[in-house]
Structures are given as structure tokens and as C-alpha cells.
């Protein structure tokens, strides 16, 4: 049996229990407080990992989306924006930066002469392949605190919560 230490979320819960005992069970607050804090802490570590490659999380997301799309690693800005839940204006800024860095190229869309497609360059592919491996190592290091069975259980439980949140 693991010995659990008190953390900052426990302290927040204790304060609410003292000030608002009428709230009752605070498990939901504590669970989601921890999820938020984990996402924030791991996100910061991922940002550091991507920074070693000269990109931030936003640029990584664009490059990774292009890479995951498969050959020829080409999508329209609208497709990218929809996948990343960005406005097309926000996407334009990211694409400008990535094009200037030589990590993507813009090409005419053969299906729509009014549009362009963003294509991952060979340099962009190499960079995102290295960055995704570095980011995965960060995630594995954090998840490595759990046993493989607990990590799998956590993944399944989080999938259920995500489904319930939609």
C-alpha cells in the first residue's frame, strides 16, 4: 500500500471544508484540481522540451498535426485550424512563423485555386520527429511514477471523464 502525502490540493480542500462545511464532499474539486495542476506542470516541461528545438507548444502542434496527417504532410489552414481549435487568423500567424523558419512551405491548393496548403518540409519533419520523441520522454517520466497497470487504469478512467465532460 502506498503512503500518500498531503499536497497543496489537500490544503485547499481543508480550507474549503473549514470555511464552507455545507459544500459536503469535495472529491470532485480535488480530482479536477489535481488534473489541472498535472496538465499545467507537464505542459511547462513539454514547453521546455520543445524549446530545445526552437519551437513552442503552438508551433509543435501545427508541425505534429501535419506529421500525423501522413504523406504528403499537407493540409489547408482551415483543416489545421479545425484540428487545433484555432481561428484561421491565429493559424496564419503560426504558419507565417513556421514558414519563415523553413519548417513548412505554403503551396497552391490543387483542388481550390483560392486556397493554399501548408506542407511540412524535410527540415520540419526531422524537427517534429525529434521534438515528439523528446516530449514523449517527458510524459513517460511523469507517468513512470505509476505501475503499468495503474497507468493503464488511469488512462481508461480519464477517457471516461473526458467523455462525460463533452
Residue 103: DSSP 8-state: S
Q: What is the pLDDT of residues 23-40, one digit of tens each?
A: 999 999 999 999 999 999
Residue 3: the pLDDT is 64
Question: What is 12-44 written as a DSSP string?
Answer: HHHHHHHH-GGG---HHHHHHHHHHHHHHHHHH
Predicted structure pTM score: 0.87
Taking residue 25's Cβ as centre, other Cβ atoms within 10 Å add up to: 9
Give the C-alpha distances (Å, rounded to integers) separating 70 from 16, 64, 65, 79, 125: 49, 10, 9, 14, 11
Domain ranges of the chain: 41-145
162 CA to centre of own chain: 14
151 or 89: which leads in pLDDT:
151
Instruction: Give the architecture (CATH level 2) of 41-145.
Output: Orthogonal Bundle (1.10)
Contact 124, 104 (CB under 8 A): yes
Amino acid at each position: 500500500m502506498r503512503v500518500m502525502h498531503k499536497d497543496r490540493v489537500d490544503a485547499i480542500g481543508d480550507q474549503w471544508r473549514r470555511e464552507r462545511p455545507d459544500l459536503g464532499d469535495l472529491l470532485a474539486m480535488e480530482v479536477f484540481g489535481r488534473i489541472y495542476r498535472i496538465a499545467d506542470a507537464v505542459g511547462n516541461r513539454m514547453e521546455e522540451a520543445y524549446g530545445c528545438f526552437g519551437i513552442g507548444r503552438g508551433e509543435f502542434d501545427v508541425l505534429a498535426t501535419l506529421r500525423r496527417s501522413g504523406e504528403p504532410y499537407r493540409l489547408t489552414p482551415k483543416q489545421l485550424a479545425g484540428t487545433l481549435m484555432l481561428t484561421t487568423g491565429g493559424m496564419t500567424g503560426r504558419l507565417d512563423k513556421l514558414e519563415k523558419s523553413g519548417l513548412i512551405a505554403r503551396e497552391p491548393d490543387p483542388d481550390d485555386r483560392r486556397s493554399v496548403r501548408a506542407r511540412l518540409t524535410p527540415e520540419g519533419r526531422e524537427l517534429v520527429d525529434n521534438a515528439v520523441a523528446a516530449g514523449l520522454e517527458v510524459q513517460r517520466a511523469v507517468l513512470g511514477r505509476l505501475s503499468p497497470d495503474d497507468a493503464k487504469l488511469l488512462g481508461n478512467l480519464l477517457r471516461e471523464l473526458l467523455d462525460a465532460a463533452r
